[in-house]
Chain A
């Protein structure tokens, strides 16, 4: 799986959009971009994934650049409960099922 690079930490004001960047410059054509988050002392939680088109669900939006070398996870209206470590992962769907977690970004939503 391709390696990802994320900033170690970010702050966001409550109610504002949180934009979390991820670089994956060595991504292959058949690798998807996944986002998970882990709230302190809980198991990681799936957020969203995409291949090349932008994706949106009830939790977040995923914007993938045209060259697919980077992406941004957007939490449109961050709340205090969104404080967590956010992991960006790239992997081939349907292949080996393991997830390779990097260091992630610690997002702190401030009141």
Chain B
């Protein structure tokens, strides 16, 4: 079956702009989590959605937001971009049927803020 799909793969934005990233989870998976990866901070949890509801949130400012649609696809939005938002943004999906034991990650979206 198809894996986790993230679009776009690469993105260049200017400071102050906003950006929307998309994640399509594995078919049947209803849990979608987002992570930010930077050289300095490593992999950090942003938030998790399950059944269109945000279930958990990491320690990020309110400029970072997300949503999940009825088909489990998820988007995350970053407003008023800062240089420090340059990172690899990763999405992971998991299944309640397996107790959320495994998280399957997409290839990520590489965001560069200039």
Chain A residues close to B by CB (< 8 Å) = 32, 36, 41-46, 49, 87, 93-94, 96-104
Sample of 6 more A-B contacts, CB < 8 Å, known A43-B108, A44-B103: A49-B102, A93-B100, A97-B31, A97-B50, A98-B58, A104-B42
A-B Cβ contacts below 8 A, count: 61
Query: B42 to chain A: closest CB distance in Å?
Result: 6
Inter-chain CA distance A49–B102, complex, in Å, is 9
Inter-chain CA distance A79–B70, complex, in Å, is 42
Chain B 41-56: CB-based contact to A (< 8 A → 1; otherwise 0): 0111100101000011
**Contact of A96 with B56 in the complex, beta carbons under 8 Å:** yes
Q: Which of A36, A98, A101, A102 is the most central at the interface, judged by chain B CB atoms within 10 Å of its CB?
A: A98
Query: A105 to chain B: closest CB distance in Å?
Result: 13
Given A96-B55, A103-B42: A45 and B105 interface contact (C-beta under 8 Å): yes
Chain B interface residue count, CB cutoff 8 Å, equals: 27
Query: B83 to chain A: closest CB distance in Å?
Result: 21
Query: A50 to chain B: closest CB distance in Å?
Result: 11
Among A36, A98, A102, point to the contact of B56 (Cβ < 8 A): A98
5 nearest A-B residue pairs (beta carbon): A43-B105, A101-B43, A98-B45, A46-B102, A96-B56
B43 surroundings in chain A (CB, below 8 A)? 44, 87, 99, 101
Question: Is there a chain A Cβ closer than 8 Å to B72's Cβ?
Answer: no
Question: Is there a chain A Cβ closer than 8 Å to B64's Cβ?
Answer: no
Question: Is there a chain A Cβ closer than 8 Å to B66's Cβ?
Answer: no
Give 18 pairs: A residue, B residue, CB < 8 Å, sorted on A.
A36-B103, A43-B4, A43-B92, A43-B107, A44-B43, A45-B105, A46-B102, A49-B101, A94-B100, A96-B55, A97-B31, A97-B56, A98-B48, A99-B45, A99-B92, A101-B42, A101-B43, A104-B42
